[in-house]
C-alpha cells in the first residue's frame, strides 16, 4: 500500500534481543531492514516495545537455558501491555517449533531459521487474526532474501554480511547442521552488491559470515573460492576493512592464507577453532584433522603472515576426554599461544551423535578443566596485550568506549579493542594510535596521526 507523499507511517517500537553467534546478529539486522518500511524503529528500552523479536541460540545448553528464562520473564510485561507482540526466532525456535508456543502462552509466534525473511507476513498474520503462528519453512530460501537493503541505513560502521549458510560437517557435538540446514553459498554478485550498499550507508568494515567460509563457492554455478571472493571484495568495492568468520582447519587453503599477506584490506586476524589437542577426541568429534595437522597449518600461516592474530574455540569435557587428553589440549595451547580463546564445557545437544556417546565426563571435572584452561589463557592473552605497548596501530574508530568515561573506542587489525581520547567526529575514521597500556580485554592509547584510505585493489 503506498502512502500519500509527506505522510509517514506511525512509528512502532521494535526491541530486538539477539543471543548467540554472528549469524543471529545478521538475521536480527535483516529483521530491522525488513520491518523498517512497515514503520518499525528499533528501541533500546524493552518497556517501550510494541514488538519484541528474540533471536535465540541453542549451540550449548547454557545458551538455551538463558533464552528460555528470558522468554519466561516476558510474561509480566505482556500482562501489563496486552497489545505487545512477542516473536521468538533462531535456533531454539527452529528446534522446538510449536512446543515453544505450548510452553509459553504469552508468545505470539515462532519463526524458524529459514523463516526470517517472512517476518513481515508472520506479523501481519498474528496482528490481523490476533492469533498465534508457527513459521517453520522446510525449503532452504535463497541466501538470504534481502528485500529493502538499499533503503536501510542502520547507522553502523561495521556490519555482518552472510556469504554462506548452513553446514555439512556434522561435528558430533554440534547442533548447527540440524538447525541451520545444509551448506548453501550466496552468489558473489549479491555479496558485492550488498557490500556496496552498506558502504554507501557509511559502513567501513564488513564481517563475512559463514559456518565454514572455506567451503564458500561449492554448489555455485560460477567458479569462485572464498579467497577469490575476498580479492573481489577488496578490488571491486570501496569497503575499508574485511574480516571473516568461521574457518574449519581442515579446509584452510594456502590461497586463503596468502590473502592475509596480499590483501591490505583483510584484517590480520583468523579465528580457527581447534576444539581439542587430543587426536582421539578430535576423531570422536569428527573434526577430520589431527593436532599436528592443526599446528602445521598455524606454522605455515605464520610463515606467510608473521604477525597474524589467532583465536580459537575449545571444548573441554567432551565424552571420553581423559586427563591425558586434556593435557594434550593444554600442550597445544602452549605451542600455539593463541591471542584469545573461547572455551566451553561440553554439553549434550539433542539429536547430535555425541549426545549418544557413553562415558560422559563428570561435570565437576569438566569445570575444573575449564577453570585451569581459562586461567592459563588469561595469562597468555594479557602478555600478548602487554607486548603491544609502545607500538603504533591502525584503529578504526567505532564509537564511545564501553567504560563510558568519555573516551572513544575502536579495534586494531588484530581485533584488539583500544580506548583513547578522541572527538566523536572521528567515528568511522582510521587513526594511528600509539598503545600506552594493556589490560586483559583491551588496550589504551593516544592518537598520533591519521591514515589515508587504502589504495583500491589492494
Contacts with ligand 5AD by CB under 6 A lie at 59-60, 173-174, 273, 275, 313, 315, 344, 346-347, 349
**Residue 315 interacts with, from ligand SF4, ligand 5AD, none (CB under 5-8 Å by kind):** ligand 5AD
CA 135, distance to chain mean position in Å, is: 24
Closer Cβ to ligand 5AD, 351 or 424, answer by number: 351
In the complex, the smallest distance separating the C-beta of residue 171 from ligand 5AD, rounded to whole angstroms, is 7
Residue 437's φ and ψ, nearest 5 degrees, are -160, 160
User: Closer to ligand SF4 at the Cβ: 132 or 353?
Assistant: 353
Q: Among 85, 248, 269, 271, which residue sits at the site for ligand SF4 (rule: CB under 6 A)?
A: 248
Q: Report, in Å, the least distance between residue 349 CB and ligand 5AD.
A: 5
Contacts of 265 (CB under 8 A, 6+ apart): 233, 234, 239, 240, 241, 242, 454, 458
Identified binder of ligand SF4 from the candidate list 212, 278, 340, 419, rule CB under 6 A: 212
Strand pairing category for 205-209 and 158-162: parallel
| Residue 211 binds which of ligand SF4, ligand 5AD, none (CB < 5-8 A, kind-dependent) | ligand SF4
Quickly list DSSP for 170-182: --TT--HHHHH-S
Q: In angstroms, what is the minimal distance from the CB of 321 to ligand 5AD?
A: 12
CB 191 within 8 A of CB 75: no
Report the alpha-carbon distance of residue 97 to residue 88 in Å, rounded: 10
For residue 273, the minimal CB distance to ligand 5AD (Å) is 4
Tell me, residue by residue from 151 to 180, as one string, x for binding to ligand SF4 by CB under 6 A and - for no binding: ----------------x-xxx--x-xx---
**Cα–Cα nearest to 211, from 237, 245, 261:** 245
Give the residue carrying C-alpha cell 583500544: 418
Determine the size of the site formed for ligand SF4 (CB under 6 A).
10
Phi, psi angles (nearest 5°) of residue 273: -60, 125
Site for ligand SF4 in 54-83 (CB under 6 A): none
346 contact choice in ligand SF4, ligand 5AD, none (CB below 5 to 8 Å, kind-dependent):
ligand 5AD
Alpha-carbon distance of 37 to 455, in angstroms, equals: 36
Helix-strand-coil split of the chain, %, nearest 5: 40, 20, 40
90 binds, among ligand SF4, ligand 5AD, none (CB under 5 to 8 A by kind): none
Residues that bind ligand SF4 (CB under 6 A): 167, 169-171, 174, 176-177, 211-212, 248
Amino acid at each position: 500500500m503506498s502512502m500519500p507523499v509527506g505522510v509517514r507511517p506511525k512509528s512502532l517500537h521494535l526491541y530486538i534481543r539477539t543471543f548467540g553467534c554472528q549469524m543471529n546478529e545478521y538475521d536480527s539486522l535483516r529483521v530491522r531492514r525488513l520491518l523498517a518500511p512497515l514503520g518499525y524503529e528499533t528501541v533500546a528500552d524493552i518497556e517501550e516495545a510494541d514488538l519484541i523479536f528474540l533471536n535465540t541460540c541453542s549451540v550449548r545448553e547454557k545458551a538455551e537455558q538463558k533464552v528460555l528464562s528470558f522468554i519466561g520473564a516476558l510474561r509480566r510485561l505482556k500482562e501489563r501491555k496486552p497489545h505487545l507482540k512477542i516473536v521468538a526466532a533462531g535456533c531454539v525456535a527452529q528446534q522446538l517449533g510449536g512446543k515453544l508456543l505450548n510452553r509459553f502462552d504469552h508468545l505470539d509466534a515462532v519463526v524458524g531459521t529459514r523463516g526470517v525473511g517472512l517476518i513481515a507476513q508472520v506479523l501481519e498474520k498474528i496482528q490481523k487474526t490476533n492469533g498465534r503462528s508457527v513459521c517453520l519453512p522446510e525449503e532452504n530460501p535463497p541466501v538470504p532474501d534481502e528485500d529493502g537493503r538499499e533503503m536501510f541505513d542502520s547507522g553502523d560502521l561495521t556490519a555482518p554480511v552472510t556469504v554462506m549458510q548452513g553446514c555439512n560437517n556434522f561435528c558430533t557435538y554440534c547442533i548447527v547442521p540440524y538447525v541451520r540446514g545444509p551448506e548453501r553459498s550466496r552468489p558473489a554478485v549479491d555479496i558485492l552488491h550488498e557490500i556496496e550498499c552498506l558502504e554507501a550507508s557509511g559502513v567501513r568494515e564488513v564481517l563475512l559470515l559463514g559456518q565454514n567460509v572455506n567451503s564458500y563457492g561449492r554448489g555455485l554455478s560460477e567458479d569462485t573460492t572464498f579467497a577469490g571472493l575476498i580479492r573481489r571484495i577488496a578490488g571491486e568495492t570501496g569497503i575499508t576493512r574485511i574480516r571473516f568468520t568461521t574457518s574449519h582447519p581442515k579446509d584452510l587453503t594456502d590461497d586463503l592464507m596468502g590473502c592475509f599477506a596480499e590483501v591490505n584490506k583483510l584484517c590480520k586476524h583468523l579465528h580457527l577453532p581447534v576444539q581439542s589437542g587430543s587426536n582421539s577426541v578430535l576423531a570422536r568429534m569428527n573434526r577430520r584433522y589431527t593436532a599436528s595437522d592443526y599446528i602445521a597449518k598455524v606454522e605455515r600461516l605464520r610463515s606467510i603472515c608473521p604477525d597474524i592474530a589467532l583465536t580459537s574455540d575449545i571444548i573441554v569435557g567432551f565424552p571420553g576426554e581423559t586427563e591425558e587428553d586434556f593435557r594434550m589440549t593444554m600442550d597445544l595451547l602452549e605451542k600455539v599461544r593463541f591471542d584469545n580463546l573461547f572455551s566451553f564445557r561440553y554439553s549434550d545437544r539433542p539429536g547430535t551423535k555425541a549426545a549418544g556417546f557413553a562415558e560422559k565426563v563428570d561435570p565437576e571435572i569438566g569445570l575444573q578443566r575449564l577453570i585451569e584452561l581459562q586461567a592459563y589463557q588469561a595469562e597468555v592473552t594479557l602478555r600478548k596485550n602487554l607486548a603491544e605497548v609502545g607500538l603504533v596501530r591502525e584503529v578504526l574508530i567505532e564509537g564511545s568506549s564501553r567504560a563510558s568515561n568519555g573516551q572513544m573506542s575502536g579495534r586494531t587489525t588484530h581485533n584488539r579493542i583500544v580506548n583513547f581520547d578522541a572527538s566523536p567526529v572521528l567515528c568511522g575514521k582510521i587513526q594511528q594510535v600509539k598503545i600506552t597500556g594493556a589490560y586483559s580485554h583491551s588496550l589504551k592509547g593516544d592518537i598520533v596521526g591519521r591514515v589515508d584510505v587504502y589504495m583500491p585493489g589492494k
